[in-house]
Amino acid sequence: MDVLSPDDERREPPASVEYETVSVPVLVIGAGAAGARTAIELAERGVDSLVVGKRDHGDAHTVWAAGGINASLGSRDPGDSWEIHAADTLAEGHFLNDPSGVELVTRTMPERIRELDEWGMDFARTEEGEIDQRYFGAQSFRRTCFVGDRTGEAILETLVARARDLGIPYRENVMVTRLLSDGVRVHGAAGYEMETGEFVLFDADAVVLAAGGHSALYDRHSSRDEENTADGAALAYEAGASLMDMEFVQFHPTGMVGDRYGEEWDGRLVTEAVRGEGGRLFNAEGERFMERYSPDQMELDARDVVARSIANEIDDGRGTENGGVLLDISHRSREFVEERLPRMTERFDSLGVDLAEEPVEVTPTAHYAMGGVDIDFATGETGVEGLYAVGEVTAGVHGANRLGGNSLAETVAVGAVVGEHLAGGIDTERRDLDGGVRAVAERHFGDLAALEASDGERSPGELIAELRDLMERYAGILRDDERLARGLAELDRVREETAGLGIEGDRRGLEFELAVDLSFMLTAAEAILRSARLRTESRGAHYREDYPEVDGDWRRNVLVRRGDTGMELSTRGVGEPSPAVQAAVEAGHELEYHHLE
Ligand SMILES: Cc1cc2nc3c(=O)[nH]c(=O)nc-3n(C[C@H](O)[C@H](O)[C@H](O)COP(=O)(O)OP(=O)(O)OC[C@H]3O[C@@H](n4cnc5c(N)ncnc54)[C@H](O)[C@@H]3O)c2cc1C
C-alpha cells in the first residue's frame, strides 16, 4: 500500500478528467540555484525551458543557505588551488565521492564565482577589493566566498535577476507529482497548480530534476517543514533512476535548541560561519570539549566529527537541560560579530539573546542529504533517457560527508554543465504527445483525485510526524542493525496507516500537499534505512555502533532502484581521482587551525 501507487497500464484512465497541457522543449523542476543556473545556461545557448517550483519566484530552499560558497580563488591564501579543493572534498567525503563530480565542481568554481560577480552578486571584499574568503570547517585554506551570512539569498537574487533578463519563464506554485515515462524514456511530468488545484501535464523532450534534498525526513531538521521532503529522489526512483549514497545524511553540529527560542526555532541552523569566525563550543560543565575529540582542528573539524562529539557529550550527561551544548563567540568584538554575522545577530536579537555577549544553545540537526539521484557529471544524465538531475537532489560530489560551502558550489557548477550538454543535443522540434504517455498522466490524475477524496481518520501531518520521529530514533547519528531493522518495521506500519488517510479541504490546501509529500518521504526513508543497514561499517556521516570502524572493502557506493517486487540494492566501486588531484591528496595540506584563535 502506498499513498500514490505506481502506474499500472492494465488500469483504464478515468472516463473524464480535465487538465491543462503545456508543451516545452525542456522542463526544469525546481527553481533553487541548481534549476535557475541550468535554465540560464540553456537560454544563453538559445534553448527554451520552463522552470516550475512549489513557491514564488525567488523563494526556494537555497535562500536559507547562509555561510558561503567555495572556490579556490586564493584571495586570502594564494597557495590554494582547485586540486587542493578537490583533495579536501574527497577527504571530507571519506573517498566515497565520484571524483569526476568533485573535479568538475572544484575546477570550474573560480569561473562560476567570477560570473556571479559580473552578474551583480555583492560578495564581501578584502581591503584590496578582492572577493573575500572565510574559513569553513575541514578546509585547508580560506576559500568560502560570502555575502555576510545571507549568501544563498544573494545567489538566488542574482540568478533570478539574470533569468528575468533572459526572459526565462517561471511557473510558480506548481507541484510535480509524477514523471511521465513510457517505460523507456521520460516525456514530461504531471502535477497540479497549488492555488487553483488544476491538473497540469507538462509535455517535454527533456526533464531536469532540480527539486532539492530530503533532510526534512528527520524530526529535528534545519530546513522549512515543507521543503526538502524528498520529492526529487522519489520522483526519479519511480521513473526508474537509481538513488545512491542514501545512508549518508549530514547532521549539522549546530542547530538551535532550548526553551528560550521556542518550538518553531527547534533545529534551525546556527551557521558554520559562527565557528568559522572563531566560535567555541562548551559543555554544561564549562569545558571546551572539542579539545578531547579533536585537539588540532577543534570546532573546525569536519561536521560529522563535531556533531558526534556533541551527541557524545549529551549522551554522557554533560549537555544542557534542553539537550544541547553552548556555542560562544563573545570573545570577538561586537563590531566584528555584527559585521560578519548580521543575520545571526539579528535573529538572536529578536529572541532576546545578544550573540556578541552570551553563548547560544545548540544541538545537531539533520541538514543535508549527501545521497540522491546517481548522475553522470559530464552530462547530468540519470540513466533514464530524457531525465537529467542537478543540485542537492543528486549524489556523488560529497561522498560520505559534505564540506560546508560545497553544495551551493555544486548547484551552479553542475547546472552550467547540464545546461550546456542539453543545449548541444536537444531537438527543439515539438511532436505530438504519445497517447500512452497521456494515459499514464490521466491514470495519475485519477489517483490524485482519489487521494483528495480520502476520508479516513489519519491526517497526513500526523503520519509525517511519526515518520520523522522514527527516522530520528532509528536512522539518526548513532545507528546499529537492531535500530535500523526496527526503523524498517515502523516504516511499514506508517505505510499501512496511509490506508486510513483523511484529507481536510481539497487539493488547494496544505493537507493535500502534505499527503503527496508523505508519499515521497516514505520512499526516501525506506531507501535510507535499507542502505544504512547494508553498509556494515562506519564512514563519514554514517556511524554504526555495531561496526565502528571504516572498512576498506566498503569503498563502494550503495545504489537503490525500483524492482518488480520492491527496492533492489546493489553496490559499485568508486573511481580514482586524476593524478593531479591524487598528488594533492598525498601532499596532505592542512590548515593551521590554531591561528584562528
Ligand atoms: C539552513 C541551511 C543553510 C545552508 N547553508 C549553506 C551554505 O552556507 N553553503 C552551502 O554551500 N550550502 C548551504 N546549504 C545547502 C544548500 O542551501 C542547498 O544544498 C542548496 O541550496 C540546494 O539547492 P537546489 O537548487 O538543489 O535546491 P533547492 O534550493 O532546495 O530548490 C528546490 C526547488 O525545487 C522545487 N520543488 C521541490 N519539489 C518540487 C515538486 N514536487 N514540484 C515542483 N517543484 C518542486 C522547490 O520549490 C524549489 O524551487 C544550507 C542548507 C540549509 C538547510
Complete DSSP assignment for 352-406 = T--TTTS-EEEEEEEEEE--EEE--TTT-B-SSBTEEE-GGGEESSSTTS--TTH
Of 327, 349, 365, the position where a domain reaches its end is 365
Residue 472 belongs to a domain: yes
Q: Are residues 350 and 444 in the same domain?
A: no
Q: Ligand 1, closest atom to CA 213?
A: 30
Q: Which helix (H) or strand (E) holds 572?
A: strand 566-573
Tell the burial category of 61 from Cβ atoms under 10 Å away from its Cβ (0-12, 13-18, 19+).
buried
The Å distance, Cα 531 to ligand 1 centre, comes to 23
Instruction: Supply the pTM of this predicted model.
Output: 0.94
CATH code of the domain covering residue 261: 3.90.700.10
Q: How far is the CA of 66 from the centre of ligand 1 (A)?
A: 12
pLDDT mean over 279-296: 96
Same domain, 355 and 458: no
Mutate to test the pocket of ligand 1, among 112, 365, 407 (most ligand atoms within 8 A of CB): 407
Terminal Cα distance for the chain, rounded: 56
pLDDT in tens, 427-465: 766 677 888 899 999 999 999 999 999 999 999 999 999
User: Residue 427: what pLDDT?
Assistant: 73
Position 171 pLDDT exceeds 70 = yes
The number of the ligand 1 atom at minimal distance from the alpha carbon of 175 is 42
Q: Which residue puts its alpha carbon closest to atom 3 of ligand 1?
A: 65
Is 536 part of any domain? yes
- pLDDT digit string, tens, across residues 368-426: 999 999 999 999 999 999 999 999 999 999 999 999 899 999 999 999 999 999 999 88
Find the catalytic residue in 85, 142, 252, 544.
Answer: 252
Q: Does residue 484 surpass a pLDDT of 90?
A: yes
Chain centroid offset of residue 179 CA? 20
pLDDT of residue 428: 66
Q: Which three cell numbers stand for residue 103?
A: 573535479
If one residue of 62, 112, 238, 249 were mutated to test the ligand 1 pocket, choosing by the most ligand atoms within 8 A of its CB, it would be 62
**Å from CA of 313 to ligand 1 middle:** 31
- Angle at CA 544, nearest 5°, toward 541 and 549? 90
- Confidence at 6, pLDDT banded by 50, 70, 90: confident
Q: Which distant-in-sequence residues (6+ apart) come within 8 Å of 449 by Cβ?
A: 14, 17
Residue nearest to atom 2 of ligand 1 (CA): 65
How confident is the model at residue 595, as a pLDDT? 41
Domain range holding 496?
437-569
Last residue of a domain, one of 365, 383, 402: 365
Q: How confident is the model at residue 35 (pLDDT cuts 50, 70, 90)?
A: very high
Joined grid coordinates for residue 226 = 515543507
Tell me whether residue 355 is in a domain.
yes
- Residues 443 and 547 grouped into a single domain: yes
CATH number at 479 reads: 1.20.58.100
Q: Is the same domain home to 357 and 441?
A: no
Q: Give the Cα separation of 597 and 580 in Å (integer).
A: 33
For 158-178, what is the mean pLDDT?
97
Ligand 1 pocket (Cβ < 6 Å) reads: 29-35, 52-55, 60-62, 64-69, 151-152, 174-176, 210-212, 222-223, 231, 269, 367-368, 391-393, 404-408, 411
Residue nearest to atom 53 of ligand 1 (CA): 223
Cα(407) to ligand 1 centroid in Å equals: 9
pLDDT of 597 above 70? no
**Which of 243, 143, 253, 251 minimizes the C-alpha distance to 534?**
243
Mean pLDDT of 342-359: 94
CA 107 to centroid of ligand 1, rounded, Å: 22
Domain end: 344, 365, 386, which one? 365
Q: Provide CB contacts within 8 A for 364, sequence distance 6+.
A: 220, 251, 252, 253, 254, 255, 307, 310, 311, 477
**pLDDT winner (highest mean) among 128-137, 292-301, 326-335:** 326-335
Confidence category of residue 1, pLDDT binned at 50, 70, 90: very low
Q: How far is the CA of 153 from the centre of ligand 1 (A)?
A: 11
The Cα 582–Cα 347 span in angstroms is 42
Percent of the chain topping pLDDT 70? 98
Residue 144 belongs to some domain of the structure: no
Q: Cβ contacts of residue 470 below 8 Å, gap of 6+?
A: 487, 490, 491, 494, 525
Average pLDDT, the chain: 94
Q: Is 275 assigned a catalytic role?
A: yes
What is the CA(242)–ligand 1 centre distance, in A? 21
In a domain, 555, yes or no: yes
Number of compact structural domains in the chain: 2
Strand positions, DSSP E, 154-229:
170-171, 174-181, 186-193, 199-209
Please state, as a whole number, how many other Cβ atoms lie within 10 Å of the Cβ of residue 147: 22
Q: Which of 27, 37, 54 to mutate to test the pocket of ligand 1 (most atoms within 8 A of CB)?
A: 54
CA torsion 582→584→587→591, rounded to 10°?
-140
Report percent pLDDT > 90 for the chain.
85
Q: Is residue 232 part of a domain?
A: no
**Minimum mean pLDDT among 248-257, 339-348, 431-440, 496-505: which range?**
431-440
Residue 345 in domain: yes
The number of the ligand 1 atom at minimal distance from the alpha carbon of 221 is 53
Contact of 456 with 502, CB cutoff 8 Å:
yes
Give the residue whose CA is nearest to atom 4 of ligand 1.
65
- Assess whether 350 and 446 both reside in one domain: no
pLDDT at position 206 over 50:
yes
Q: If DSSP codes are grouped into helix, strand and coil, which group holds residue 244?
A: strand
Asked if residue 151 has pLDDT above 60, the reply is: yes
List of E strands, 427-518: 478-479
Q: What is the mean pLDDT of residues 56-63?
A: 91
Same-domain check for residues 451 and 554: yes
The pLDDT assigned to 591 comes to 65
Q: Which ligand 1 atom sits closest to the C-alpha of 229? A: 38
Q: Is residue 147 part of a domain?
A: no
Q: Which residue has the higher pLDDT, 124 or 14?
A: 124
Q: Given ligand 1 and candidates 270, 408, 517, which is best to mutate, with the most ligand atoms within 8 Å of its CB? A: 408
Q: Do residues 474 and 565 both lie within one domain? A: yes
CA of 64 to the centre of ligand 1 (A): 8
Does the active-site annotation cover 252?
yes
Active-site option among 55, 150, 275, 347: 275
pLDDT for the residue numbered 596 = 42
